[in-house]
Amino acid sequence: MRFLTSAALLFLSVCTAVANERPNIVVYLADDLSQRDISVYDEHGIKTPALEALASEGMTFNQAFVASPSCAPSRAALLTGLMPARNGAEENHSTPSADVDRLPFVLKDLGYQVASFGKIAHSNRAKSFGFEVVENAKEMPKLLQNVTRFLNNRKDDRPLALFVGIGNPHVPWPNHSSFDPAGVYLPPMLIDTPRTRVQRSRYLQEVKQLDEVLASLRTLTQKHLQGDPIYVFSSDHGAQFPLGKWTLYEEGIRVPLIVSWPGHIQANTRTDAMVSWVDMLPTLIELAGGEVPTGLDGASFADVLSGKAKTHRALIFTTHSGDRQMNVYPVRSVRDGRFKYIRNLHPEFAFTTHIDLLHRANSSDYILEWQELAKTDATAADAMNRYHARPAEELYDLESDPYERNNLIDETAHAANRQQLSDALDAWLKDQGDEMTVFHQPYMLDEPETWVPRSGNSPE
């Protein structure tokens, strides 16, 4: 299906002249970046001067969330405005159903040239999402070279919707880092071991580099694009560390979101309005002067950007259906402004990922130190147990427990919170038509001897 009716398309064709008055749009996406890892959000985050400059010119969202914490379903939700169960891209490496419309088609109908550089749609599928110009290289400096060549040679007089997705800080991480491992900050869910510090320093090096690419990208667009473009920065989900990517904890689903548009969005502002990645499609369409389609899961937060509204969503829903055979662990969650309820659909399954199954020297070999330490250290043993084993339900007070370490699910004082959020999740799952599919054979929690890599798995 297409979002725009034939009548709407006729109206747009009659009004082609207004296309040149539409703002240019630049969307810059990181790959596997948790919100708290940059200085815009946390005192322990690394200094990211280009992101700080962008934030000083626009609005920073304190509570922005992806629809799903792995690459393909997250990006599909962004580009369709629909949650995974409704667009068809549920597990990682899957794609939306053919009859689901996508943002680039709508922007082209509004008169835009739509270009994708790097990783925007997952796995080099940008053409199928409707992008006209596609360059898939996502690593610097090739990514910047491709964007530079495109802008230098561009003759198209339509407004530009430029999507740039860098591969940072997705694994593999570099062999060397400018950060001293001994001095890096370790979030409380990480065990302090020598290789953990080495790999954390390498991850931070990639965060530093993605900030440097943003600085170069802004210089390029200032040179080549007339007026002040709408600038959007975000990440497709959290970092590839335990309790981050592939999970519905805050480290997995809460991402940076900064939006700048001088003259339209007040500079240097922050908002606690809760927004989801499915809201990006209708928001960009409204900011571009288009008519927001009906039938979406997303809702425009343009009024938040303009200062007309202080709130957006009362509830945030997230889903995860797995990453092929390496991570067979379906889970759903809902959170309000304070509490989060997580439902692990099959607590009898073992939670496994590329981290613990592959032990890669350029990303996750620290897990071997964790496993060894867990034999004699209670804290490490608890961390490994929480990594692999989850209860059927979890409830967290995010105000007092931002790292979700104290499960309140059995606390009588919070029975009402549990019931309210559980009921809300039930109703939403029914409305979504979510069949809660298990896509592959799981690893069983009581059979740790079987937790070994399986053939036929794609990169994460």
Q: What SS3 string covers 73-88?
A: HHHHHHHHCCCHHHHC
Neighbours of 385 (CB within 10 A): 11
Of 265, 285, 313, the one marking the end of a domain is 313
Q: Provide φ and ψ at 203, rounded to 5°.
A: -60, -45
Q: Cβ(383)–Cβ(242) under 8 Å? A: yes
Same domain, yes or no: 56 and 97: yes
Cα(321)–Cα(429) distance, integer angstroms: 13
Same domain, yes or no: 228 and 81: yes
Cα(326)–Cα(104) distance, integer angstroms: 32
Cα(366)–Cα(362) distance, integer angstroms: 10
Same domain, yes or no: 323 and 309: no
- pTM of the entire structure? 0.95
- Number of helices (H) and strands (E) in the chain: give both, helices first: 14, 13
Same domain, yes or no: 83 and 146: yes
Domain membership of residue 3 (yes or no) is: no
Tokens (6 digits) for 156? 């198209």
Q: Are strands 316-320 and 257-260 parallel, antiparallel or unpaired?
A: unpaired
Provide the sign of the torsion angle of the four alpha carbons 79, 82, 84, 86, taken in this order. Answer: negative
For 348, the domain range is: 318-450
> Strand order of the sheet with strand 331-335?
316-320, 331-335, 339-344, 393-397
pLDDT tens per residue, the chain (460 residues)?
454 444 444 444 444 445 668 999 999 999 999 999 999 999 999 999 999 999 999 999 999 999 999 999 999 999 999 999 999 999 999 999 999 999 999 999 999 999 999 999 987 888 999 999 999 999 999 999 999 999 999 999 999 999 999 999 999 999 999 999 999 999 999 999 999 999 999 999 999 999 999 999 999 999 999 999 999 999 999 999 999 999 999 999 999 999 999 999 999 999 999 999 999 999 999 999 999 999 999 999 999 999 999 999 999 999 999 999 999 999 999 999 999 999 999 999 999 999 999 999 999 999 999 999 999 999 999 999 999 999 999 999 999 999 999 999 999 999 999 999 999 999 999 999 999 999 999 999 999 999 999 876 666 7
Residue found under tokens 């290789």: 195
Number of domains in the chain: 2
Same domain, yes or no: 306 and 322: no
Same domain, yes or no: 309 and 324: no
Q: Which residues pair with 320 in a beta bridge?
A: 331
Domain membership of residue 259 (yes or no) is: yes
Q: Cβ(151)–Cβ(221) under 8 Å? A: yes
DSSP three-state, residue 435: coil
Same domain, yes or no: 303 and 190: yes
Domain membership of residue 15 (yes or no) is: no
